[in-house]
A and B are shown apart, each in its own frame.
Chain A
Amino acid sequence: MSTAPDTAATHRLWTFHGGLHLPDNKALSNGEPIAEAILPQRLVLPLQQHIGAPAKPLVEVGDKVFKGQIIAQADGFVSAPVHASSSGTVIAIDELPVPHPSGLSAPCIVIDTDGEERWCERQPIDNWSALDPSELRNLIRDAGIVGLGGAGFPSFIKLNPGARTAVDTLILNGAECEPYITCDDLLMRERPEEVVAGARIMRHALNARRVVIGIEDNKPEAYAALRGAVASLKRDDIELVQVPTLYPTGGEKQLIRILTGKEVPSQRLPVDIGVVCHNVATAASVHRAVEKGEPLIARIVTVTGRGIARPRNLEVLFGTPMQELVDQCGGTKPQLSRLVLGGPLMGITLPDVQLPIVKTTNCILALTPGEFGEHGPVRPCIRCGECARACPANLLPQQLYWHARAKDFDRAQDYNLFDCIECGCCAYVCPANLPLVQYYRFAKTEIWAQAREKRKADLARERHEFRSERQEREKAERAAKLAKKKADLAAKAPPGTATGPADDDAKKAAIQAAMERAKAKREAAGVAPKNTDELTADQQRQIAEAEARRAAKAQNDAAATPQPPVED
């Protein structure tokens, strides 16, 4: 094996503001190799495991499906299809609880597995470099690949630089900065060639000049493994860089800053500065989709924390209930006090271990009381500024808190609320124990709700204004018509006649004429009574009476002055 070009020594690194040195707790789970999770009897596949519109089901209850078969198609541009993660029978398409902070249910396809793991037909592509980037993107889209780092944004969109920009650098994010989580670490250790192969395909799709893989320096084994994989390729367009361990280095904006020295402008995308960032696990799944023809149906999940008997990493089919994973890791310990989906800094509390594993599930974390650190009583903010020192976006969290708490959302936005990445550094260091991130989420949600309300109100106002305008216009048109008619009549009338009575007479004559025309029309149409066969004498009498009343009413109506139609 030839020696790899050691780019770490030469690659210049930049820094971002703040960040935290945290006990990483990764040794809990990274000591054992990746194991395959047991095939469950039942798979629950949510139709939305990504950012964007939920997929539309393509199967019906009772259908037999193969492993890897598409069972729900992407609905719209920002969406992703869902594939059967094993062979079996669709037994339900229903609303079921899904892993989401809201704790709400969402549509899922439920498959009873048959245990045979029969694959659908796969179409591996060896010669992908001959494919057009757009064809590659279609392949990746059809494989249901979304960002596996946690966000779940459809990857094919992020692999499309668009016409406006050229991509200079593709960054593969192997930082995995959240404590406890080791699924990317194990992937890079055990399957480095898949990551590198995926990186090359992604680079081709983006036509990027170079690839930089960033790994935190607390993962020397992963770094060494990737170094070997890169070296065996003998290419110099893939750089491997060790970055200092500092939470949240794995944040997209932070990693871009560290590796390129550039900052993603506020409210813009990395591609605007010629950088695209993907997770290493996403790269591996791109390799599998293209070179093996396997859609995204499984991922590596870390099951860890001191509340788990045997912490480790499992390769899990999507739809597997979390309970099965916990059981496979020896179950939970009695001192378990909180289950978290994701990492300790950004994860969500798990309301239910029966929830299915989805594309964005990277970790199940079982925390015991000793692992929380010191949660004292919540006290008032003393403006100590520790949060500002820790903030990786260089915000003033204490000011954001103040304005969010006062529901002064305009001021919160003046202090750049929407540049907050909710990494949790501020709340971690806060001596007053304030749930700062929760305040920011609250403020953001309120602002979004207000924006929605405003859009609605704007639309209603526009509609109202348009309608008033139209009414005004029609009124004016009618007035003009009437005036013209008057003028015409006046011109016809013999000179010297008083206009008043003549006008009245003309009106009456017009009404009379109109009524006669209407009557003639009614008679000509010959309104035939319906269902008049087999009527009893009594019914016929009632009809006759009704006819008489109607005739009388018509005469009365005709006598009254006609009114302009009342328009809605």
Chain B
Amino acid sequence: MPGPVISSPHVHGPANVSRVMLRVLYALIPAVLAYIGYFGWGVLINVLIAAIVALGSEAAILLLRGRPVGDTLLDGSALVTAVLLGIALPPLSPWWLVAIGTGFAIIFAKQLYGGLGFNPFNPAMAGYVLLLVSFPVQMTSWSAPMGLRSEDLGLLQALFHSLSGTLPHGMGLDALTSATPLDAMKVQLGMAKTVSQISAGPIFGVLGGKGWEVTNGMILLGGLWLIWRRIISWHVPVAMLGSLALIATLFHLINGQHYAGPVFHLFSGAAMLGAFFIATDPVSGATSPRGQLVFGAGVGLLVYVIRVFGGYPDGVAFGVLLMNMAAPTIDYYTQPRVYGHDRS
């Protein structure tokens, strides 16, 4: 019977990369449904286009690199990038916007660095930032949440709009879109309005913006499930949301009429998505538990600074990418104390 000499251990646990990615996708299902429910079919179309482009471009590059295609696509990481980008982009985006962002994420931010495991930056956020700086108009035109839209697009109408850029006869883009709560807050604070005046507007809800508070809540649910299934550890989300809430509280206490409170910041924009699904990307983040605390806190801080003092309404993408750059250094300085070594 003797077989080849194989190095120990001879048994292996149940974990594998595909399963991790699959669990992440499961955890995103409630969020995707909430996004579709509040912001229309465009979200689903974004996700589908992103998925096709992600798998296609990954397959193409793998072919060029002479790597096994089917086996690598099965790891599920390209699909996770696609879904994250799909829900992060404006629901009424034209198809090419989604395609450029996803293609850049997979080809430039991931495969050209060597594929999964070798990318220093989070691919989805790299793609997002490319679009944000290249196509600011398209990127800031968000759907109005359900209930605030005077008209609505059906699934086929949304698909047609995405592919051709034209709306059904008699329907205007203005009827479908509105400013996001973060955008509204930023712009109107600049017009010397107070936080309470702004929050009385129609797009604001109980915790954050209408719709946004629900999508963020669904992401929070999915994220908690990931922590429970031990797919991610609590360090990054707690540190990121904690630092964001802490600094928001601090400024809110100093001047409550000029700085929105912590709950608004936690339940607006991509705060939850960033905390549970993006900053927790293990490849581009810090790995040691202490390092993850530093990393998460850094993202939270940057998100606040960019939202409140920067030029963009939200700061998750920039915050994550900036901390990605710092991750190797953070890891180097946060090594755990090894057994038998002095505490130093």
Contacts and interface: CB of A to CB of B under 8 A. Distances in A.
B339 A385 contact: no
Contacts of B1: 332, 336, 339, 353
A350 interface: yes
A367 B10 contact: yes
Interface in B1-47: 1-20
Contacts, number: 169
A22 B16 CA distance: 17
Which of B117, B118, B283 gathers most chain A CB within 10 Å?
Answer: B117
A353 B8 contact: no
B337 to A, nearest CB: 6
Nearest to B232: A384
A430 B6 contact: no
B282 interface: yes
B9 A424 contact: yes
A437 B7 contact: yes
Contact of A384 (B282, B335, B336): B282
Contacts of B282: 382-385
B115 interface: yes
B249 interface: no
Contact of B2 (A17, A20, A351, A437): A351
B340 A377 contact: no
A559 B28 CA distance: 102
A18 to B, nearest CB: 10
B169 interface: no
Given A16-B339, A263-B339, A388-B336, A428 B9 contact: yes
Given A383-B287, A384-B282, A385-B282, A257 B14 contact: no
Interface stretch (A2-10, A80-88, A391-399): A391-399
Interface stretch (A187-195, A280-288, A340-348): A340-348
Given A382-B116, A393-B339, A415-B335, 10 more contacts: A101-B5, A257-B339, A267-B340, A372-B12, A374-B14, A374-B16, A382-B282, A383-B287, A388-B336, A433-B16
Which of B4, B115, B340 gathers most chain A CB within 10 Å?
Answer: B340
Interface in B261-294: 282-283, 285, 287-289
B314 interface: no
Contacts of A399: 287, 331
A532 interface: no
Given A379-B75, A393-B339, A416-B338, A351 B11 contact: no
Contact of B12 (A101, A349, A374, A384): A374
A309 B133 CA distance: 68
18 contacts: A266-B340, A349-B5, A379-B116, A380-B116, A380-B118, A381-B117, A382-B282, A383-B117, A385-B287, A389-B233, A395-B336, A399-B287, A424-B8, A427-B9, A430-B12, A431-B16, A432-B16, A437-B7
A428 B16 CA distance: 11
Contacts of A445: none
A438 B336 CA distance: 23
A388 B9 contact: no
Interface string B201-224: 000000000000000000000000
Given A372-B10, A427-B12, A435-B7, A395 B18 contact: no
Interface residues of B, number: 43
A351 to B, nearest CB: 5
Given A337-B3, A376-B16, A382-B116, A437 B338 contact: no
Interface in B181-211: none
Contact of A380 (B9, B19, B117, B288): B117
* 10 residue pairs, one from A and one from B, having the closest CB atoms: A380-B117, A424-B9, A438-B7, A266-B340, A431-B15, A373-B12, A376-B16, A384-B282, A393-B339, A385-B287
Contacts of A389: 233
A162 interface: no
A318 B9 CA distance: 26
Contacts of B285: 383
Interface in A83-132: 101, 103
A393 B338 contact: yes
Which of A345, A380, A398 gathers most chain B CB within 10 Å?
Answer: A380
Given A332-B1, A385-B288, A392-B339, A349 B10 contact: yes
A346 B340 contact: no
A429 interface: yes
A429 B15 contact: yes
Interface in A24-65: none
A407 interface: no
A261 interface: no
A399 B333 CA distance: 13
A253 B11 contact: no
A365 B16 CA distance: 25
B340 A380 contact: no
A102 to B, nearest CB: 9
Interface residues of A, number: 74
Interface of B: 1-20, 71, 75, 77, 114-118, 233, 282-283, 285, 287-289, 331, 335-341
A386 interface: yes
Contacts of A384: 20, 282, 287
Nearest to B1: A336
Contacts of A237: none
A441 B13 CA distance: 21
Nearest to B4: A349
A338 B6 contact: yes
A435 B9 CA distance: 8
B72 to A, nearest CB: 8
A383 B75 contact: no
Nearest to A347: B8
A375 B233 contact: no
A267 to B, nearest CB: 8
A348 B335 contact: no
Nearest to B72: A379
A329 interface: no
B3 A374 contact: no
A431 B19 contact: yes
B329 to A, nearest CB: 13
B13 A428 contact: yes
A381 B115 CA distance: 11
Which of B283, B331, B339 gathers most chain A CB within 10 Å?
Answer: B339
A348 B9 CA distance: 9
Which of A101, A336, A338, A367 gathers most chain B CB within 10 Å?
Answer: A338
A265 interface: yes
B29 to A, nearest CB: 21
B283 A383 contact: yes
B190 to A, nearest CB: 41
B117 A382 contact: yes
B65 to A, nearest CB: 13
A345 B8 CA distance: 6
B10 A338 contact: yes
Nearest to B340: A266
Nearest to A372: B11
Contacts of B335: 396, 415
A298 interface: no
